[in-house]
Amino acid sequence: MNIYIETLGCPKNFYDSEIAGGILKNAGHNIVSDWEDSDIIIVNTCGFINDAKRESIAKIFEFADRGDRLLIVSGCLSKRYADELITDMPEVDIFIGVNEYEKLPEIIDNHKIGCREKFVEEYKTDPNPDYRDCRNLGYSATLKISEGCDNRCAYCVIPDIRGPYRSRTMESIVKEAEKLAEAGVKELILIGQDVTAYGKDIYGSFNLHELLKRLCRVEKIRWIRLMYCYEDRITDELIEVMAKEDKICHYIDMPLQHSTDHVLSMMRRRSNESSIRSTISRLRSAIPDIAIRTTLITGFPGETEEDFDNLYDFVEEIKFQRLGVFTYSMEEGTPAAEMDNQIEEDIKEERKDSIMRLQMEISRAFNESLVGKTLEVLIEEKDEDGVYLGRTQYDAPEIDNCVIVKTVSEHKPGDFITVEVTDAYDYDIVGREI
């Protein structure tokens, strides 16, 4: 059968879809790039916050008028709301969660036309990464090193959806990295709900630094990028390896959510303002050019004007090179949803917009400081004759800045070139190839 997979949400969902595609190919099915060529449509959904849920539901209904195509909904939304969805969405034939991808061929083969089914289990086994088809991933690929989460932040449903934290073995991860490298991947992006917790469950201690040492020995890999790092688990050993190993990008994604002890405590985060400042200082001392990305939440229940003013001042002082802001999303089943002092949507948005305006100024100042410097740039696409788009080691794909490169040479996606920065904008820089 021809199967089309539509993926929504975070890179972890895209990783799951790649494994699902490999499982289905191994069973004799064909993965197509256009849903109109398909016999079966799979929508891999996100159910993390309200905006993501709305996007997922809209996409499901978009595919609902599908003629005689089988419609399967998988992923976080399906795992979280399977009982409600099978009642409210008669257009969907099959619902599966986040742990049923290896059963997909059997589910499809045994499905009877007109029968509606759901297959949503708890966290017994994770999809086998060996099924992942690495042949067409290109020059940059994610590498999921763990599944689930034990942190239980007050606003987050991920532990209920994805289950407890489960590290993969180093041998399994390195094996996949080698497979990716042989397929032409040059950049590994390490992902998980909390990559800095890696190894605690199976090795008895935080072992991300040891995993990185092994990954740095994989030939043909040029960049290794860290996403989803919890501040309180960024150890001195991890910083030392990041500073020492040339393949590790001078970049870290460290979602802090807030800066004041009052709000962090209500969020059930282990960090406090002092520890955050200390970690940032340690990172910048050991790696002076490191780009720190963070995300923040505005309008968490009980966030006072003073809390927000302190957060604003903190962002202005620290000057994160990369920063995003979400407004608090009330999620049923979380402790935060039951808290008093819920904040009105317009106030959440005002606070978000205020910080994003500040960050735009910070980002432009940082970009202007790069003018005249020489940077290594990974080419991603051709924009027009003599102009390419790329990014530096300080930028993750899709979410961070872009480099507009002027050159007389011909390049293809995945090429690394040397660029002198000649101009700067709020979120992008311009340069010429040397």
> Quick check: 379 and 418 in contact, CB under 8 A?
no
Amino acid found at 183: A
| CATH superfamily label, 374-433 | Nucleic acid-binding proteins (2.40.50.140)
402 in a known ligand binding site: no
Q: Is the pLDDT of residue 118 over 90?
A: no
Q: Is the pLDDT of residue 67 over 70?
A: no
Q: Is the pLDDT of residue 434 over 70?
A: yes
**CATH for 129-369 (2.30.30.90, 2.60.120.200, 3.80.30.20, 3.40.50.170):** 3.80.30.20
Mean pLDDT check: name the lowest of 44-53, 149-158, 300-309, 388-397. Answer: 44-53
pLDDT of residue 65: 76
229 in a known ligand binding site: no
Q: Is the pLDDT of residue 332 over 80?
A: yes
Q: Whole-angstrom Cα distance, residue 294 to residue 80?
A: 27
> Model confidence over 359-375: pLDDT tens digits?
999 999 999 999 999 99
Q: Is the pLDDT of residue 135 over 90?
A: no
The domains of the chain are located at: 2-119, 129-369, 374-433
Once rounded to an integer, what is the mean pLDDT over residues 267-274? Answer: 97
Once rounded to an integer, what is the mean pLDDT over residues 67-82? Answer: 88
Q: Whole-angstrom Cα distance, residue 275 to residue 269?
A: 12
Kind plus residue range of the DSSP H or E element containing 117: strand 117-119
Once rounded to an integer, what is the mean pLDDT over residues 143-155? Answer: 95
Alpha helices for 184-301 (secondary structure H): 200-203, 208-216, 236-244, 261-266, 273-286
For residue 108, how many other CB atoms are within 10 A of its CB? 20
Backbone region of residue 158 per phi and psi (left: phi > 0; alpha: psi in -120 to 50; beta: other values): alpha
pLDDT of residue 9: 87
Q: Whole-angstrom Cα distance, residue 211 to residue 171?
A: 9
Once rounded to an integer, what is the mean pLDDT over residues 382-399? Answer: 95
Once rounded to an integer, what is the mean pLDDT over residues 19-43? Answer: 92
> Model confidence over 209-220: pLDDT tens digits?
999 999 999 999
Q: Whole-angstrom Cα distance, residue 35 to residue 2?
A: 9
Once rounded to an integer, what is the mean pLDDT over residues 75-97? Answer: 89
> Model confidence over 164-193: pLDDT tens digits?
999 999 999 999 999 999 999 999 999 999
Once rounded to an integer, what is the mean pLDDT over residues 272-295? Answer: 98
Once rounded to an integer, what is the mean pLDDT over residues 3-14? Answer: 91
Question: For the chain, how big is the Rg over CA atoms in Å?
Answer: 22
**CATH for 2-119 (1.50.10.10, 3.50.50.60, 1.25.60.10, 3.40.50.12160):** 3.40.50.12160
Q: Whole-angstrom Cα distance, residue 143 to residue 64?
A: 32
Residues contacting residue 432 through CB under 8 Å, at least 6 positions apart = 405, 406, 407, 419, 420, 422
Once rounded to an integer, what is the mean pLDDT over residues 68-75? Answer: 90
134 in a known ligand binding site: no
pLDDT of residue 50: 79
Q: Whole-angstrom Cα distance, residue 268 to residue 272?
A: 10
Mean pLDDT check: name the lowest of 10-14, 204-208, 376-380. Answer: 10-14
Q: In the predicted model, what is the mean pLDDT of the chain?
A: 94
> Quick check: 98 and 124 in contact, CB under 8 A?
no
**pLDDT tier at 352, thresholds 50, 70, 90:** very high
Amino acid found at 59: K
pLDDT of residue 124: 60
Percent of the chain residues topping a pLDDT of 70: 98
Question: What are the phi and psi torsion angles at 292 (to 5°)?
Answer: -100, 120
Q: Whole-angstrom Cα distance, residue 193 to residue 15?
A: 13
Q: Is the pLDDT of residue 254 over 70?
A: yes
Once rounded to an integer, what is the mean pLDDT over residues 349-365? Answer: 98
